[in-house]
Structure 1
């Protein structure tokens, strides 16, 4: 059966803005992040226009908050949202919450060398590798294909890149090069991908830029 997947990332968080590495730790959405998700939900509602769908999301706090806003736009009760552990963001293990890649590489240069030598298979201390993420996302994607219909998925930057790479049959290098927008989402359909930009309130964008 054919499936259509709308793949959304959570809105900007306070740690996104500060450049911290979140992993599976959490930080709240900023005002811009709330506006991004609101715009995505509004755009998605106009695209679906009454079409039946399933809404599934990562159970982390920032995706719960984002999925709740999307659900309101789509007319879905909170209790109807499916929370799937396989959609959690990659965990950096001991380094979840670290203050940026630059700080991490300065503090652990030997680990940075190991990661740069094989970035796809590098597993963070007590954490995951990109391959680990692919291994848990692959069956989720297969289940969507088998079920057919429309699936609205609210997840994370790395998870979404890995899922898009799997869907499109990309190489590891091509998957790493994919974007991770918070002011747009992607539609995966018939073996192709379309980026759908959203109109975030100009007043919020202007305040953020100041």
Structure 2
């Protein structure tokens, strides 16, 4: 039975996260001091795993999140299919009252099954899933990489977890996430199925809370 273990993480905190500014794929922000501390806490907890490969999105906040592992010499590959959803005209803005209504209507449309509805000037969940499938195909095409680390983004992660577990994209908000959370997945090549072994795990960040 051939399997692949995937450590799927969301990037560490950015100042945009802290301020509630919409990032999406169009804002290429850096990790802030907390985000870098989160990245180091994750590294200290999981540096023993021995990852065969690291996959990141095309945005530098994912590179910075796994940089301590890359510094060990672990090979990495950038896959833009792992990028965050494009929020279109809303990127770089702090949602106000009118914008909140826009978001509420959009999320309700998606939750009711209308996942082909795009953001204004951006992408739909269906479009995100399509490009993610290309990226996941690349990751799965290397069965010799038995343990990999994948760094990506919140909304994109929710979309990804839906279709990996054969759930409709309308269920995406059932998957909780926080900065530098971990979802540990196991892929079975024979049955071609993914199993979630850990969900939204942040135990590695407890050291920051105690600091």
Where does the alignment leave 5 or more consecutive residues of structure 2 unmatched?
188-193
Match of 1:192 in 2: 195
Q: Secondary structure at the match of 1:68?
A: helix
1:144, 1:166 → 2: CA distance?
A: 16
2:118, 2:29 → 1: CA distance?
A: 23
Deviation track 1:33-60 (CA, whole Å, cap 9, x = no partner) reads: 11111111222222x1x4x511110121
Q: Are the structure 2 counterparts of residues 193 and 101 from structure 1 closer, same or farther at C-alpha, using a change threshold of 3 Å? A: farther
Match of 2:35 in 1: 33
Q: Are the structure 2 counterparts of residues 201 and 3 from structure 1 closer, same or farther at C-alpha, using a change threshold of 3 Å? A: closer
2:124, 2:96 → 1: CA distance?
A: 16
Deviation track 1:159-181 (CA, whole Å, cap 9, x = no partner) reads: 22222222211222332221122
Shift of 1:201: 6.3
Q: Secondary structure at the match of 2:29?
A: coil
More helix by share: 1
1:151, 1:143 → 2: CA distance?
A: 12
- Counterparts of 1:24-103 in structure 2 under 5 Å? 24=25, 25-46=27-48, 48=49, 50=50, 53-72=52-71, 75-76=72-73, 80-100=75-95, 102-103=97-98
Q: Secondary structure at the match of 1:154?
A: strand
Q: Are the structure 2 counterparts of residues 58 and 102 from structure 1 closer, same or farther at C-alpha, using a change threshold of 3 Å? A: farther
Shift of 1:93: 1.4
1:183, 1:81 → 2: CA distance?
A: 18
Deviation track 1:79-101 (CA, whole Å, cap 9, x = no partner) reads: x3211111111111122112026
Q: Secondary structure at the match of 2:171?
A: helix
Q: Are the structure 2 counterparts of residues 96 and 187 from structure 1 closer, same or farther at C-alpha, using a change threshold of 3 Å? A: same
Question: What is the aligned counterpart of 1:158 among 155, 159, 166?
Answer: 155
Q: Does 1:4 align with 2:5?
A: yes
Q: Are the structure 2 counterparts of residues 39 and 114 from structure 1 closer, same or farther at C-alpha, using a change threshold of 3 Å? A: closer
TM-score between both structures, scaled by the size of structure 1: 0.81
Kept after mapping to 2: 8 A contact 1:40/1:185: no
Q: Secondary structure at the match of 1:200?
A: helix
Q: Are the structure 2 counterparts of residues 28 and 205 from structure 1 closer, same or farther at C-alpha, using a change threshold of 3 Å? A: farther
Q: Are the structure 2 counterparts of residues 170 and 102 from structure 1 closer, same or farther at C-alpha, using a change threshold of 3 Å? A: farther
Match of 1:124 in 2: 119
Where does the alignment leave 5 or more consecutive residues of structure 1 unmatched?
none
